[in-house]
Structure 1
Amino acid sequence: MNSRVLFLLSMFRNLPLVPISISALIVLVWLLPVDQWLEYHRALIGQGQLWRLLTANLAHIDGSHLLFNLAGLWLMAWWFGSALSQLKWLVVTLACGLAVTGGLFLFYPDPLWYRGFSGVLYGLFAAGSVFMISTHRWLALAGLALVVIKLVGDASGWPVVGSEPMHDFRVVHQAHHLGFIMGALVAVLWSRVSGQFGSGFLRTES
């Protein structure tokens, strides 16, 4: 095969395809008038509209909410590099997305509606940090500790830095807790099954 073609295929393979796809879906949902059909709505989920358990993570309240979550998504992609391979990105995103909305539905009856990707972002951070432990142990552990402190502060009502809402709506902190726990759990189980703790930087294999 032509060397130029091989080079292009190599570049394509190393693109962060899952973050790109997630970003495209989030923007598409924002551009199309379908948010009300995709958001977490407790009563409608109880009536059988189960797709909302996954699609709620793609819906956003306003433009600043959308941009904030997209920035967080690409910060995760930059910070963790290949500690989150393509397959890990996909599995962690889906698992955390379902954990956030499923957990809200099962354990937290007060939030009647929810939109946003922030719960999944907390899960991606937890998973990426666990996968990084073998290569950047203290950096990963420090990051996990700081986020745990923030989550405990949010749950307790402490004035933790970054806990004040940046938007004109109430932040559903329970979503962050659920996403973080699921991300850490997926990463620990994955590492135990694969026989390694962490995957190094930028790899596309699982």
Structure 2
Amino acid sequence: MILTLKNLPLNKQHTLMVISIFLLAILAWLFNETVSERLVYQRQLINQGELWRLFTGHFLHTNLNHLLLNLTALVLLWLLHGHFYSVKNYSLLFITSALICSVGLFYGAPDVQQYVGLSGVLHGIFMFGAIMDIRHQDKTGYLLLTGVWLKIAYEQLYGASEQISSLINATVAIDAHLWGAVGGLLFSCGYLVVNKKARYNEKRSKA
């Protein structure tokens, strides 16, 4: 689909949650010194019961480059797939991807003591968009889905780009990308099943 001003996903349903996440990430950056100590994903503190860090750590970033990279990706995904978003599905997608990403890191990557950033969740959002493309018979969805899994596999085998690590002044948490994508995949499968059941029940009620 070629993007023009006319087909931009500017409806409130398509934009509200994206704008909210955008602004929350900026606020977290502006007040980083005040909030980071209480909100960052930190394995030891989560282990002591501070479970909110499984979610809030995704809004924090290591530096301005890290923030700008993630916010740019957030906007690009909205431009690409925003027409599939609603306040409800995007909220649930974000929460599911964020929590599965963090829980996956906690149990599957115990060497990751601290993590910040939206990149894991963004992989989940990307996954949802690709699957929705496929659902709506857009063949680019297959390319996007294949591409994101190839990227994740490459990172798992060879590690992340040194240039990106240098840019964000931190080690790229490749396992966050993996678990965020898993979260997006699981949400997308559940979303399709629920929608299919809803359409079936609607047809029965009209029959």
Give runs of ≥4 in structure 1 deviating > 4 Å.
none
Corresponding letter in the other structure for 2:119:
S
Change (3 A) 1:190 1:15: closer
Alignment match, 2:77: 76
Following TM superposition, by how much is the alpha carbon of 1:181 offset from its aligned partner in structure 2, in angstroms? 1.1
TM-score, structure 1 length as denominator? 0.83
Q: Residue 41 of structure 2 contacts residue 54 of structure 2 at CA under 8 Å; is this kept in 1? A: yes
Cross-structure match for 2:16: 17
1:195 and 2:205 are equivalent in the alignment: no
* Residues 89-104 of structure 1 aligned to structure 2 (within 5 Å): 89-104=90-105
C-alpha distance in structure 1 between counterparts of 2:146 and 2:74, whole Å: 20
Equivalent residue, structure 1, for 2:25:
26
Q: 1:158 to 1:93 in 2, by over 3 A?
A: closer
Amino acid at match of 1:19: V
Aligned residue number for residue 8 of structure 1: none
Residue 133 of structure 1 aligns to a residue whose secondary structure is helix
**Deviation (angstroms), 1:187:** 0.7
Contact 2:62 2:169 in 1 (8 A): no
Percent identity over the alignment is 31
Distance in 1 (CA, whole Å) between partners of 2:188 and 2:162 is 26
Shift of 1:163: 7.4
Quote how far apart the aligned CAs of 1:108 are: 1.1
**Conserved? CA contact 1:154–1:163, under 8 Å:** no
Residue type of the partner of 1:21?
Answer: S
Per-residue CA deviation, residues 58-112 of structure 1 (Å, 9 max, x unaligned), is 0111111011111111111110022222211111000011111111112210000
Q: Distance in 2 between matches of 1:49 and 1:188?
A: 30
SS of match in other structure, 2:170: coil
Q: Secondary structure at the match of 2:135?
A: coil
Residue 16 of structure 1 aligns to a residue in which SS? helix
What number of residue pairs does the alignment pair up?
Answer: 184
- Alpha-carbon RMSD across the aligned residues, in angstroms, is 1.9
Change (3 A) 1:163 1:92: farther
Q: Say whether the 8 Å CA contact 2:97–2:184 is kept in structure 1.
A: yes
Larger RCO, structure (CA 8 Å, separation 6 or more): 1
One-letter amino acid of the counterpart of residue 26, structure 2: V
**More deviation, 102-111/113-122:** 102-111
Per the alignment, residue 6 of structure 1 pairs with none
For structure 2, the 5+ residue unaligned runs are 1-9, 198-207
Answer yes or no: is 1:131 the counterpart of 2:120. Answer: no
Counterpart secondary structure, 2:46: helix
Q: CA deviation at 1:42?
A: 0.5
The residue number in structure 1 matching 2:150 is: 149
The answer as to whether partners of 1:150 and 1:163 remain within 8 angstroms in 2 is no
TM-score, with structure 2 as normaliser: 0.83
- Quick check: 1:48 aligned with 2:49? yes
Aligned-pair CA distance for 1:14: 4.5
SS in 2 for 1:116: coil
Post-superposition CA distance 1:117-162 (Å, at most 9, x none): 0000000000111112133431001001011111000001178xx6
